[in-house]
Amino acid sequence: MPAIRGKLGGRKFYAFITRPRDLLKISFVNHRSLNDPEGAPTYQRLVSRSRIREIGKFIKGGGFFPTNLLVNFTRGVRFDKISTDEAADITFGTLYLPDRYRSAWIIDGQHRLYGFSPVEDAYLDRNIVVIAFEKLSTSEEAQLFVTINHEQKTVPKHLLDDLEGELKWGSDIPSERVGSVASRLINYLNTDVGRPFYNRITQQGIPSTNKTCLTIPAVKESLRRSGLVGRAIHNNKTYELGPLCGATDSETLDKAWSVLTTYFEHIRDANPNQWEKGRAGQLCTNVAVQAYVMLLAALIRYSEVNVATSAKELTVEEIMSDLEEFLQPVLDFMNRASDEKMEQQFKVPFGSGGPPEYYFRLCKIVKARFPDFEPEGMEEWEAEQSEENIGTADRKIKEIVVATQDYIFKALRETYGEAKDAYWHKGLTDKEMKAKAYARSLDADEDDRIPLEHYLDVVDYKKIIENKQNWPRFQNVFDIPDPGEKGYAKNVKWMDRVNELRRISAHPSRERHYKLEDFEYIDYIYTRLNENLRAVRDSVTADRANGNRIRS
């Protein structure tokens, strides 16, 4: 077939038009699930049957592809030169396709090509445009794939994360070095037959199941955060060795694989039923695995202090021997725990807050036997769980709400009076707000009904306070800027946050609780509001005293 030969990025390429009938016979897709050592690094997603069928319908409807397929000839090809354009540095000639299966590896466009496979024979003679390189290494193929696809939403992040182990291996950039070791490590764990993570990590093109439910980005992020295989510091200029690091990245990979495999075998064997449940359980899930990786790092740090030896200097056997005593409380708990107990103990919020919450619950189990086990963040987490702190916060929230309501309606009664409920009708201008409160009052038994203001929400109080006609009366009490913020004309945003915090005490659960900063914020608002109320009372008392002296 007629073709053009030239160079792109210093690599020889051929541009030509061919038929699917001919290209399909020699093509091959190096997809991720093959795990073929000769094809490493594998990079393609599995071909989707449903997408092929859709493309087949598109072709039969007259559709065509104006973009080229990108392939790599793994064998040398014959090219007979006809002429040369020296200005463009290209050669015109006749190209002969290789005559063997797997001699043209598809780098980009696999679905466009294989979309011709289910259609009638007549469609196989349609023209398709091809750019072909010659004898690229598989690493170069994978790099081209990433270059083409990394900005496209159709290429999932976990596939690019997976490829980092191949493409960034040996990188001088610390973050890339950590990422590449973590990615290869995950792949080793996933393909280690009979071990805890065998076929537990999802791959692109293979549907997840209850058992195959761990994702590469989640596990990889936990390895990064733990620092087990090193971390990037000093604005990504320095690579800091982690406790499972060896003299080389290959040694790090071997050591980390051995420790993680042994460690998670202990965890799996402590409660095999929960582990086998996968996504339906509380043990072999993204959240749980991330938490256990964080716990491993914390236990190693704790062990290093107790034995006064760096884990980097120890063998795998020595590391695990030192850890067993400290891990045992967790294993004992899981040995005894029923499915209901596991769910009660480790069901945590979905999202980024889940793994840390699960991790600190594990730490609490360890600390019950080893009181000096105090990993970073544990003190703050325990403060958030403190019954005393929670009780104090609940009480202060209620007092803030009651004091706010009392002051608002006392002031409105003094201003408009109680005759014919004037304080209600004149002080509140929002008809919808009043109608909502009235409707709520009707839900109560007639004998149990209380004044209408008690059927309002905190956000309603805010609307009353910041109303233009009411603000001058309320500003000196309720104008409270948030800590660290410059004051605004009306500083009442705090009421929105108090309303959110009030829901925690109204609907408490293990998944919904105060944060440490919430305690501090509640204390701040409670103190400022009481100071303002005290100042108003003192001012009123002083005015009355002055009035009495004048009359005297």
How much is the pLDDT for 153? 45
Going through 58-197 in order, the beta strands assigned E by DSSP cover 69-73, 78-85, 90-96, 104-108, 128-134
Longest dimension (CA), the chain: 121
At 332, phi and psi to the nearest 5? -65, -40
Give the Cα separation of 290 and 354 in Å (integer): 9
Give the Cα separation of 230 and 235 in Å (integer): 14
How much is the pLDDT for 160? 67
Report which of 134, 143, 136 is spatially closest to residue 171, judged by C-alpha positions.
143
Helix (H) or strand (E) holding 14: strand 11-18
User: For 140, what's the count of Cα atoms within 13 Å in the CB-facing half-sphere?
Assistant: 14
DSSP string over 446-514: GGG---GGGG--HHHHHHHHHSTTTHHHHHHHH--PPTTPPP-SS--THHHHHHHHHHHHHS-BTTB--
Spatial neighbors of 130 by CB under 8 A, at least 6 apart, are 14, 15, 16, 17, 18, 23, 68, 69, 70, 71
At CA 162, angle to CA 69 and CA 276, rounded to 5?
125
Give the Cα separation of 298 and 304 in Å (integer): 10
How much is the pLDDT for 156? 60
Query: Look-up: residue for tokens 């979905």?
Result: 350
How much is the pLDDT for 29? 84
Query: Look-up: residue for tokens 């203001």?
Result: 453
Read off the tokens for 18.
């061919």
Mean pLDDT by 10 residues, the chain (552 residues): 90 92 88 53 66 87 86 90 90 93 87 88 90 85 71 57 73 91 92 92 80 91 94 93 94 95 96 94 94 96 90 94 94 94 86 87 94 92 80 90 91 86 84 86 79 84 88 90 76 89 74 79 92 88 69 56
Q: How far is CA 519 from the centre of its chain?
A: 26
How much is the pLDDT for 487? 65
Give the Cα separation of 149 and 146 in Å (integer): 5
Residue 378 in 3-state DSSP?
helix
How much is the pLDDT for 49? 80
What angle do helix axes 471-478 and 458-466 make, rounded to 10 degrees?
120
Helix (H) or strand (E) holding 285: none
Give the Cα separation of 193 and 268 in Å (integer): 15
Report which of 326, 403, 390, 389 is spatially closest to residue 362, judged by C-alpha positions.
326
Residue 8 in 3-state DSSP?
strand
Distance set, CA 76 to CA 14, 105, 135, 136, 177 (Å): 12, 13, 7, 11, 35
Alpha-carbon radius of gyration of the chain: 34
